[in-house]
Amino acid sequence: MNATAPIHVVVWGENRHEKINAAVQKIYPDGMHETIAAGVRSLLGDSATVATHVLDEPEHGLSEEVLASTDVLLWWGHIAHDDVDDVVVERIHRHVLEGMGILVLHSGHHSKIFRRLMGTTCSLRWRNDGDRELVWTVAPRHPITDGIPQPLIVPGQEMYGEFFDIPEPDELVFISSFSGGEVFRSGVTYSRGFGRVFYFSPGDEAYPVYHDRGIQRVLANGIRWARPTLPRESYLVTPNYAREDFDRPRRWNGAGFEDWTTGEPIPAE
Amino acid sequence: MNATAPIHVVVWGENRHEKINAAVQKIYPDGMHETIAAGVRSLLGDSATVATHVLDEPEHGLSEEVLASTDVLLWWGHIAHDDVDDVVVERIHRHVLEGMGILVLHSGHHSKIFRRLMGTTCSLRWRNDGDRELVWTVAPRHPITDGIPQPLIVPGQEMYGEFFDIPEPDELVFISSFSGGEVFRSGVTYSRGFGRVFYFSPGDEAYPVYHDRGIQRVLANGIRWARPTLPRESYLVTPNYAREDFDRPRRWNGAGFEDWTTGEPIPAE
Amino acid sequence: MNATAPIHVVVWGENRHEKINAAVQKIYPDGMHETIAAGVRSLLGDSATVATHVLDEPEHGLSEEVLASTDVLLWWGHIAHDDVDDVVVERIHRHVLEGMGILVLHSGHHSKIFRRLMGTTCSLRWRNDGDRELVWTVAPRHPITDGIPQPLIVPGQEMYGEFFDIPEPDELVFISSFSGGEVFRSGVTYSRGFGRVFYFSPGDEAYPVYHDRGIQRVLANGIRWARPTLPRESYLVTPNYAREDFDRPRRWNGAGFEDWTTGEPIPAE
Amino acid sequence: MNATAPIHVVVWGENRHEKINAAVQKIYPDGMHETIAAGVRSLLGDSATVATHVLDEPEHGLSEEVLASTDVLLWWGHIAHDDVDDVVVERIHRHVLEGMGILVLHSGHHSKIFRRLMGTTCSLRWRNDGDRELVWTVAPRHPITDGIPQPLIVPGQEMYGEFFDIPEPDELVFISSFSGGEVFRSGVTYSRGFGRVFYFSPGDEAYPVYHDRGIQRVLANGIRWARPTLPRESYLVTPNYAREDFDRPRRWNGAGFEDWTTGEPIPAE
């Protein structure tokens, strides 16, 4: 868990467009998740391990075991949000709240996991028209912007525009404009429980966005930023404390209080 | 919907402690929800209508019809969060995102609706020990603090302490201290979708907190602050726009685009 | 000071371009400040009094007496920031911290008073090229956005772009895009001391921006939002309190403590 | 400037109490700045160089040369804020906006540099009465909280209480309570220009606070957090850009535009 250990990254891809859409296959012959994974792998080098999983695996490839050893999860989905099992969504949610980082990409704004983390509709304006997107940095010394040009130019991309129905971000990192004149909060961060969340909007399946070095660099920076620095920690149950006993949380076991950590009974005061 | 029309308030109470706990019955003989309702009614006067509903009514008293005509909902629950029907939770959530205000009180921090709106565990430290709670204003010109003493003194109250696992608030209005030395972000606001959310922590069933004029005044101020100023508006589905046609969102109907509002077909460009 | 009393508004104009630049004279024959004042006056009606003052008056028209009776000050300056007397800047700053609202317009981003309130350079990217500016609402139920179209279209305007060196806003209300592709946080709010601050960027002297009804409406909304609801209150000197004497702050007078409010000596404990 | 180079830290002390107050001399025989410096030096080891400077040096020890090579400045002052030369304050301010980190300690809340950075009075409630202060973490995974106990107990300390007149913090890291029942936002962070600011309140001269390992650790964490990762960068003058020439800012030299970086004349378009 120390800062020099490799970051364990999982890139999750819906991988449906790639099976049915020749145009997408041409751009992403190995699947979008593999292009994303290769991009961040080449930038993070030995500092990270990068695995991929897809929707059609059992448990979508995201078993308890896989998530427990994942530091940062990248999520790309678009047309099959409803096919993601609620049990798996619940599991991812729990791991984020316990410390796992998550990067939600593009159309993942409408994924079950992002909506669960945000508590809002996460809806937005859109138009798929090959707009040029300019990604402007508004937080110049944020680690996610390290080495990113001002602006980062995406030659063609689906338009996502405001109003974007998300909670007020902890940090607004990027704002995009589009040829049509729309604007979008395209890079936003949140803390949720003990985990860090970064949403980054460029990346429609119909454009070669994830082949772009600048985009890859945003993702690599985001992974470094979102990595946990401490082991998972659960806070689902509320700890009880005796007066001025700041160090020994207690749990009610039906008959009396027991030590939160050891389970040892605590005599009534 | 104009600012001079009465605010339609619903105070929702779990109303379980009141049935089984003589000490609570003594403090709140008509149920906690009735005391809360009477308090805000006396402060808001003609500017509001204040109704009450409880868990044991059909649909917990919160039918689509009731919620559709509610401007601000107050929520108090503690021991029966799991008995609240997920369908009703979903309905309340939708109404908040469409513009209904909500005040979540005390142990409502662990309610399904608050967790859904926040996306976190909403857990906290606690101790029920009759601590004196001092509620300090940290946003002195916020409308919710209007007329509230610095500090507001609650002679006896359950301790709720940090870490409180909530998203970074939009506005931090109150911070409390307790006799035992703990602190708590006891008044926090959020915007979620088109609705406003205010969480206020004083108010355990074992203490006569809601009989206090200062506490009632916080609630009345909160109701005024959270009231919607525009009709409900849904943003569940993402609107599509043609280039530079800023005023006419479109919806895909399977065969082509139709006007978002009128349903009229829009010819391909 | 109650919510139904008229809001006392002062529109302050630098009024220099208007004296030397025929093009500006043509757009604003009575001076920009008069056009701004007429616009908000027509929208606020009896709910406000709207006076104007300019740089070349004694004390720039902003004597202690004038400021003491001003609820909300609008500030427009561009080429003569350095001609504003530091004493007057200090006075305005004090009044804002004590509760006066302030709306800083366009090139006022580089005014002494805005820099003083922000603590940063308040610099930005610019280009004066007749760009179309689209002002997008990103906080749809904020009172400043009431009745503002999505987007508000400004046919021609100077480009102001990111990075805009301001502190993280309390609320991000508007984001603009420009024909050239730049983006700008064009409407931001802050609380400073007991006063409210709204910066709104459209409004270069070379374009008839302040004749636009939508722009006027943003300013009128901003005035309503920034108005103080309580009398001025100074917090320059730090109040001292005895233990658990929450209601009686004390001041050290050299020989002992005296009551903060009455000046009555307080005996040593 | 890379992340493995040593951090150049300067601890600045007013060093006046130490000359005139025997009680303070006893606690801090070498001056408070030396105790603070020794504490962070022992925690940061080879990863930092830690120098000290005091008020009574020429230019208060903070020449342009010293500041230009300082990564993070720690500021402790109390009774002599007015003796700090405005020219030096201006210089520190500029360096922070260009990227230098700053940690403002305890009574530094009323220093000229902190007020300049904040734009508010920075006043607060106080009482010097030997209260026990409990410093609670409210942002558990923030790097400044790494290894800090929950709560950090300061056995005796001056009380600083709310309302604390500061801008809404970017991040609220610590909240303190005091024996007398007051609360205080005791650890807050800000971004200002390209620099990072951390205010941390424990540390009155009359108590041995800076000998405490936990307090030292907060400061060492704060230094790591506030260190710049890029060279100083000035943004005092606003860059001008031609349309869609995103990479070449221009400067007006009176006769025409020249390249911002090279000074080369740019022909009119």
Instruction: Indicate if C248 and C200 belong to the same structural domain.
Output: no
> Is D2 domain-assigned?
no
Interface test with D, best of A71, A141, A189 (most D CBs within 10 A): A141
Neighbouring chains of C at 3+ CB pairs under 8 Å are: A, B, D
Q: Where are the alpha helices (DSSP H) in B60-177?
A: 64-68, 86-98, 112-118
Which of B97, B121, B182 faces A120 most closely, judged by CB atoms? B97
D151 touches chain A (CB under 8 A): yes
Q: What is the pLDDT of residues C220-260, one digit of tens each?
A: 999 999 999 999 999 988 888 888 888 788 877 778 778 87
User: Can you give the pLDDT at residue B1?
Assistant: 46
Residues in CB range of C186: below 8 A, 6 or more apart: C133, C135, C160, C174, C175, C176, C200, C201, C202
Whether the CA torsion C112, C114, C116, C120 is positive or negative: it is negative
D196: pLDDT confidence band, cut at 50, 70 and 90?
Answer: very high
Which comes out higher in pLDDT, residue A31 or A245? A31
Average pLDDT value for residue range A97-110? 98
The whole-angstrom distance between D109's CA and the closest CA on chain B is: 16
The whole-angstrom distance between B71's CA and the closest CA on chain D is: 29
Instruction: Tell me the residues of chain D between 124 and 143 that have a Cβ less than 8 Å away from chain B.
Output: 132, 134, 136-138, 140
Write down the pTM of the prediction.
0.96
The whole-angstrom distance between C232's CA and the closest CA on chain A is: 30
C119 touches chain D (CB under 8 A): yes
B99 touches chain C (CB under 8 A): yes
* Contact at CB, A123 and B167, closer than 8 angstroms: no
* Contact at CB, A194 and D143, closer than 8 angstroms: no
Q: How many CA atoms lie within 13 A of B31 on its CB side?
A: 17
Which of C161, C168, C235 faces D191 most closely, judged by CB atoms? C168
D234 touches chain A (CB under 8 A): no
Structure tokens at D110: 């009323």
Instruction: Indicate if D166 and D243 belong to the same structural domain.
Output: no
> Is B232 domain-assigned?
no
Structure tokens at A218: 């945003």
DSSP-derived letter for residue A110 is G
Q: Where are the alpha helices (DSSP H) in D5-147?
A: 17-20, 22-27, 32-44, 64-68, 86-98, 112-118
> Is B1 domain-assigned?
no
**A181: nearest CA partner in chain B:** B244
Instruction: Indicate if C118 and C31 belong to the same structural domain.
Output: yes
User: Which contiguous run of DSSP H or E holds residue C2?
Assistant: none
* Contact at CB, D150 and A246, closer than 8 angstroms: yes
**Spatial distance between the Cα atoms of B167 and B119, rounded to a whole number of angstroms:** 8
The whole-angstrom distance between B240's CA and the closest CA on chain A is: 5
Q: Work out whether strand D101-105 and strand D195-200 pair parallel, antiparallel, or are unpaired.
A: parallel
Q: What is the pLDDT of residues B145-189, one digit of tens each?
A: 999 999 999 999 999 999 999 999 999 999 999 999 999 999 999
Neighbouring chains of B at 3+ CB pairs under 8 Å are: A, C, D
**Spatial distance between the Cα atoms of A172 and B66, rounded to a whole number of angstroms:** 38
**Mean of the per-residue pLDDT values of chain A:** 94
**C247: nearest CA partner in chain B:** B150
Q: What is the pLDDT of residues A229-257, one digit of tens each?
A: 999 999 988 888 888 888 788 877 778 77
**Mean of the per-residue pLDDT values of chain D:** 94
* Contact at CB, B143 and C230, closer than 8 angstroms: no
Structure tokens at A37: 């994974």
3-state secondary structure of C69: coil
Chain C CB contacts of B134 under 8 Å are 246
User: Can you give the pLDDT at residue D1?
Assistant: 46
Q: What is the pLDDT of residues B219-256, one digit of tens each?
A: 999 999 999 999 999 998 888 888 888 878 887 777 87
Average pLDDT value for residue range C137-145? 97
Query: What total of structural domains would you count in chain D?
Result: 2
The whole-angstrom distance between D206's CA and the closest CA on chain B is: 22
- DSSP per-residue string spanning B194-238: TEEEEEE----TTS-GGG-HHHHHHHHHHHHHH--SS-----SSP
User: Can you give the pLDDT at residue D11?
Assistant: 98
User: Can you give the pLDDT at residue B18?
Assistant: 94
CA distances from D29 to C180, C236, D8, D154 (A): 62, 33, 25, 21
Q: Which domain holds residue C246?
A: 239-269
Chain C CB contacts of D97 under 8 Å are 120-121, 165
Average pLDDT value for residue range D259-263? 80
Q: Is D137's pLDDT higher than 70?
A: yes
- Return the bridge partners of D100, or none: none
**Spatial distance between the Cα atoms of D230 and A220, rounded to a whole number of angstroms:** 18
**C186: nearest CA partner in chain A:** A183
Which of D140, D196, D228 faces A194 most closely, judged by CB atoms? D140
DSSP-derived letter for residue C224 is H
Chain A CB contacts of D134 under 8 Å are 246
Neighbouring chains of D at 3+ CB pairs under 8 Å are: A, B, C
The whole-angstrom distance between D182's CA and the closest CA on chain C is: 9
Sheet holding C265-266, edge to edge: C250-252, C257-259, C265-266
Domain with residue C35: its CATH number is 3.40.50.880
**Spatial distance between the Cα atoms of D34 and C146, rounded to a whole number of angstroms:** 56
CA distances from A40 to A14, A37, B78, C61, D162 (A): 18, 5, 46, 60, 46
**Spatial distance between the Cα atoms of D218 and D152, rounded to a whole number of angstroms:** 10
Whether the CA torsion A64, A69, A70, A71 is positive or negative: it is positive
User: Can you give the pLDDT at residue C261?
Assistant: 77
C161 touches chain A (CB under 8 A): yes
> Residues C136, A162: contact at Cβ < 8 Å?
yes
**Spatial distance between the Cα atoms of A180 and A159, rounded to a whole number of angstroms:** 8
Structure tokens at D55: 């008020």
Instruction: Indicate if B183 and B207 belong to the same structural domain.
Output: yes
Q: Is A91's pLDDT higher than 50?
A: yes
Instruction: Tell me the residues of chain A between 162 and 201 that have a Cβ less than 8 Å away from chain C.
Output: 162-164, 168, 171-172, 175-179, 181-183, 185
Instruction: Indicate if C163 and C198 belong to the same structural domain.
Output: yes
Which comes out higher in pLDDT, residue D249 or A27? A27
Average pLDDT value for residue range B77-86? 97
**Spatial distance between the Cα atoms of C173 and C185, rounded to a whole number of angstroms:** 8
**Spatial distance between the Cα atoms of A183 and A161, rounded to a whole number of angstroms:** 5
> Is D232 domain-assigned?
no
> Residues A143, A189: contact at Cβ < 8 Å?
no
Chain A CB contacts of D143 under 8 Å are 229
> Residues D158, D126: contact at Cβ < 8 Å?
yes
Q: What is the pLDDT of residues A42-76, one digit of tens each?
A: 999 999 999 999 999 999 999 999 999 999 999 99
Instruction: Indicate if C245 and C210 belong to the same structural domain.
Output: no
Least Cα distance to A133 among C212, C183, D238, C141 occurs for C183
> Residues B159, B178: contact at Cβ < 8 Å?
yes
User: Which contiguous run of DSSP H or E holds residue B259?
Assistant: strand B257-259
Instruction: Tell me the residues of chain C between 247 and 266 that have a Cβ less than 8 Å away from chain B.
Output: 247
Instruction: Indicate if C100 and C209 belong to the same structural domain.
Output: yes
> Is B23 domain-assigned?
yes
User: Can you give the pLDDT at residue D152?
Assistant: 96
Least Cα distance to B243 among D250, A125, D225, D114 occurs for A125
Instruction: Indicate if C126 and C248 belong to the same structural domain.
Output: no
D248: pLDDT confidence band, cut at 50, 70 and 90?
Answer: confident
Instruction: Indicate if A257 and A152 belong to the same structural domain.
Output: no
Average pLDDT value for residue range A181-188? 98
B145 touches chain D (CB under 8 A): no
**Spatial distance between the Cα atoms of A97 and B121, rounded to a whole number of angstroms:** 8
Average pLDDT value for residue range B126-140? 95
Within 10 Å of residue C8's Cβ, how many Cβ atoms?
17
Whether the CA torsion A87, A92, A96, A98 is positive or negative: it is positive
User: Can you give the pLDDT at residue D2?
Assistant: 59
Which of A140, A230, A247 faces D194 most closely, judged by CB atoms? A140
Structure tokens at A148: 């990113």
**Spatial distance between the Cα atoms of D244 and C258, rounded to a whole number of angstroms:** 64
Chain C CB contacts of D110 under 8 Å are 238
Instruction: Tell me the residues of chain B between 11 and 30 that have a Cβ less than 8 Å away from chain C.
Output: none
C40: pLDDT confidence band, cut at 50, 70 and 90?
Answer: very high
Instruction: Indicate if B151 and B246 belong to the same structural domain.
Output: no
CA distances from C20 to C35, C79, D17, D256 (A): 18, 12, 57, 20
* Contact at CB, B127 and A180, closer than 8 angstroms: no
Q: Is A1's pLDDT higher than 60?
A: no
A2: pLDDT confidence band, cut at 50, 70 and 90?
Answer: low
**A151: nearest CA partner in chain D:** D246
**Spatial distance between the Cα atoms of D174 and D151, rounded to a whole number of angstroms:** 10
* Contact at CB, A185 and C175, closer than 8 angstroms: yes
Q: Is C269's pLDDT higher than 70?
A: no
User: Can you give the pLDDT at residue B2?
Assistant: 59
The whole-angstrom distance between B14's CA and the closest CA on chain A is: 20
Q: What is the pLDDT of residues D225-245, one digit of tens each?
A: 999 999 999 998 888 888 878
In angstroms and rounded to an integer, the radius of gyration of the C-alpha atoms of chain C is: 20
| Residue C123: Cβ-neighbour burial (10 angstroms; 0-12, 13-18, 19+) | buried
* Contact at CB, B191 and C151, closer than 8 angstroms: no
> Is B231 domain-assigned?
no
**Spatial distance between the Cα atoms of C222 and C190, rounded to a whole number of angstroms:** 12
> Is C2 domain-assigned?
no
DSSP-derived letter for residue B30 is T
**Spatial distance between the Cα atoms of B160 and B182, rounded to a whole number of angstroms:** 8
> Is B135 domain-assigned?
yes
Q: Is B269's pLDDT higher than 70?
A: no
**A237: nearest CA partner in chain B:** B123
Q: Is D253's pLDDT higher than 50?
A: yes
User: Can you give the pLDDT at residue C99?
Assistant: 98
Instruction: Indicate if A114 and A168 belong to the same structural domain.
Output: yes
Instruction: Indicate if C249 and C131 belong to the same structural domain.
Output: no
Sheet holding D195-200, edge to edge: D48-54, D7-13, D72-76, D101-105, D195-200, D183-192, D171-178, D125-137, D152-161
**A129: nearest CA partner in chain B:** B243
